[in-house]
Chain A
Amino acid sequence: MDLLDNLALGFSTASTIWNLGFCLIGVLLGTLIGVLPGIGATATIAMLLPLTFQIGDPVSSLIMLAGIYYGAQYGGSTTAILINMPGESSSAVTAIDGYQMARKGRAGAALAIAAIGSFFAGTVSTFLVAIFAPPLTAIALEFGAAEYFSLMIVGLVSAIALAHGSVVKALAMVVLGLLLGLVGTDVISGSPRFTLGIREYADGLNFVAVAVGVFGVAEILRNLENERTREVLMAKVSGLLPTREDFRAMAAPIVRGTAIGSILGILPGGGAILAAFASYTVEKRVSKNPEEFGKGAVAGVAGPESANNAGAQTSFIPMLTLGIPANPVMALMIGAMIIQGIVPGPNVASEQPALFWGIIASMWIGNLMLIVLNLPLIGLWVKLLTVPYYVLFPIIMAFCSIGVYSVNSNVFDLYAVALFGLLGYILTKLRCEPAPLLLGFVLGPLLEENLRRAMILSRGDPTTFITRPLSAALLAIAVAVLVVVLLPSVRKKRDEVFVEEEA
């Protein structure tokens, strides 16, 4: 068996004391930066690149950098749940129900659910990477501009499901997000749009700045309205571990989330960011109690967290099999490899089997370390909530500012945080939710770019979207989702049918 030999080689490479040590350092650092609001994996890995010169061994360096990446995915959900402060698009979804669970005093359970979901997803997707990397790459390459456009349409249609209030308000937020996403240089013509003449916005608004603003800062402002209620809320923290019912409620969402994340993570053109959103939509649709979503539903944390972690792992596939980065973190990993004298390309697996399989094996080991590390830490994180708010919020603000600045060393990103904090606060007052806005913001540029590229490639023929089979299938899914959303009666009838069958 080739696969077993390869995995054996991988595990023997990854489980030397030296490499285990680097893996541990990586996941520890990753957890830490994930927990600190605003500081992301990209900035940290960029800062640590010079260190890889000193480490000397490419396998060890990459094991450590990879550990930081998926460690940060674990840690990122912690701030989303505890203080409604998502550090990246995926944890923005976790914040919706995770933070509500925390407000109900179930922060510990939410954190545990996120950790268990992530571990399951990490384990499954690691084996997917090991077994199916080459065929999955072939599928990813079938995705052209038309397919990405249709995928983004599915994502946007699903965005409506993110809202738990008015559909009209959710639509308005998606559109506002789309418009904000247009700020920056137009990829096709190269001209700057809506930048107000500020060159610092030529590459668009920074996602971290917008997310930290509309979620985190807005939430701080809201909490400061009434200091006392906040303390009361936090005083009743109870039950660190998930209950038996929680386990029952999270099992299926974790499996579904893992499947969704694994598939979307392979797509280099922004598929992974859709994973958490898509999983949330699916969970809300299949749930027997969709009204619980947005009020602390267990499935709303378990599904997206699993999807997010699975996507993070499978996004290694394009890099390992083609030498192409799926996101900025992967670009940094490629940079690290080149510094070590390995230029990643389509032959990495055959030219550097120890590196290739060592990294894959280390992912599973790293995930194991993360769950062992994180479960005992939950008590500590929850204790943080008992810190008086007047002490906590300045600290949060300080870390946010440092974190956001560290992404691009750009002060204009800090102005954006302030502005979007205010906007987020106003939106909260108007009962408009930030999650659909964020999804629109992330998907808008991808939607436009791929639409225009698809039209260029088809020489202006719009039928390209329905004559390409993959694209047509995705659009059909979008229509189906739309029908389900727009016709509540469809859903009601279906429920009745089920009731009758059971009776």
Chain B
Amino acid sequence: MKKLLASLAVAASFAMATNAAVAQTYPDRTITVVVPFAAGGPTDTVTRLVAEAMSKDLGQQIVVENVGGAGGTLGAGRVASADPDGYTLLLHHIGMATSATLYRKLAYDTLGAFEYVGLVTEVPMTIVARKDLEPTDLKGLVEYAKANKDTVTVANAGIGAASHLCGMLFMSAIQTPLVTVPYKGTGPAMTDLLGGQVDIMCDQTTNTAKQITGGTIKAYAVTTPQRLEALPDLPTTDEAGLPGMQVGIWHGIYAPKGTPAEVTERLSKSLQVALKDSNVVARFAELGTAPSSEADATPAALKAKLESEIARWKPIIEAAGQYAD
């Protein structure tokens, strides 16, 4: 027994020593950031922009690897079981919090399997509709939806997608269930909205901003406390008559549990630098979003966000009674 304890102690001290050594020279080789969605999508784009800027600061290349599938849980699971050495990271969005409830059998423990680096950005959502829908403002839309609840259709990009979450929130805010029409991804959903096949959608500005300014769809409100620079004429939900209906697709960077704190701190510092990079700021603005503040790009802020968001969405998803497994 004594021997066992002794060897454990030796092993532990070795582990700590190597961890310290890791932290001092970190990073000395290429870092991989896993995006749990397909290449080319909004999360992938956000990741590539930030990774490019972070790699300049860290002096090492950052490779973006797309491990899509099962609503982002495959990629998250991959990182949860990766070596906690700081060379495998995860950039995930709000789905990290909602999949904790949407999936009853996850391959990892959402709150127990990761270390935190920081928040990256919170992409605003917009309530939009086909361009020939009658109501001209959000109040009118709510009345219209309540009066025609059997025929008004709400599109989303599939269970667990940002548009699905926001659609649920909209229906719970107006306390009226509408006809939900799921699609396989944002592309087909947006196509049908443009073609007037469905009525309403609530989606990220990354997908809607250009269509709104191009006049191909009608926009009613943005789900942020303040109006957006990219869409200055669009009122907020507070202004337009649905106070408190606020939702943003927040993105955060995670590392596997056990990654040394020095490493996550270093990454967090680098993230803060990247979020001030002029290219990142400019590209984010074109997508209708803004980088997170320095205070939010920290491990503590991301941890708090994840915990509060899991608690926020649990009752909404359970009330909807729709699970992804």
Q: Which residues of A contact B (CB under 8 A)?
A: 42, 45-46, 49-50, 53, 140-145, 185, 187-192, 199-200, 202-203, 268-269, 318, 322-326, 328, 331-336, 338-339, 341, 343-347, 408-410, 449, 453, 456-457, 459
Contact = CB atoms under 8 A, between A and B. Distances in A.
28 contacts: A45-B39, A50-B48, A53-B52, A140-B191, A141-B195, A143-B195, A187-B183, A190-B102, A190-B159, A191-B323, A199-B107, A200-B70, A202-B69, A268-B191, A322-B216, A335-B44, A336-B40, A338-B286, A338-B287, A339-B48, A339-B283, A343-B209, A344-B210, A345-B209, A346-B214, A346-B215, A409-B65, A459-B151
Interface in B24-66: 38-41, 44-45, 48-49, 52, 63-66
A457 B153 CA distance: 7
Contact of A343 (B48, B73, B210): B210
B322 A190 contact: yes
A256 B38 CA distance: 35
Contacts of B39: 42, 45-46, 49, 331-332, 335
Given A332-B39, A339-B48, A199 B150 contact: no
Nearest to B282: A341
A344 B213 CA distance: 12
A408 B283 contact: no
B158 interface: yes
Contacts of B77: 199
B41 A331 contact: yes
Interface in B137-171: 150-151, 153, 158-160
B40 A345 contact: no
Given A142-B195, A343-B210, A449-B184, A409 B324 contact: no
B325 interface: yes
Q: Which of A53, A318, A331, A336 gathers most chain B CB within 10 Å?
A: A331
Contacts of B323: 190-191
Contacts, number: 157
Q: Which 3 A-B pairs have the closest CB atoms?
A: A345-B210, A190-B159, A335-B40
Given A46-B66, A202-B69, A323-B210, A187 B182 contact: yes
B160 A144 contact: no
Given A144-B197, A346-B214, A457-B153, A335 B184 contact: no
Given A53-B52, A325-B187, A144 B214 contact: no
Contacts of B71: 202
A331 B191 contact: no
A52 to B, nearest CB: 9
A487 B77 CA distance: 55
Contacts of A328: 38, 40
B41 to A, nearest CB: 7
A203 B66 CA distance: 14
A188 B179 CA distance: 12
A49 B64 CA distance: 10
B167 to A, nearest CB: 13
Contacts of B318: none
Given A50-B64, A141-B191, A459-B151, A187 B48 contact: no
Contacts of B183: 187, 453
Contacts of B192: 144-145
Nearest to A202: B70
A449 B188 CA distance: 12
B283 A341 contact: yes
Contact of A459 (B70, B150, B215, B322): B150
A339 B51 CA distance: 12
Contacts of B22: none
Interface in B166-203: 179, 181-184, 187-188, 190-192, 194-198
B31 to A, nearest CB: 13
Given A49-B64, A336-B40, 10 more contacts: A46-B39, A142-B195, A185-B159, A189-B322, A269-B191, A333-B40, A339-B45, A339-B283, A345-B211, A345-B214
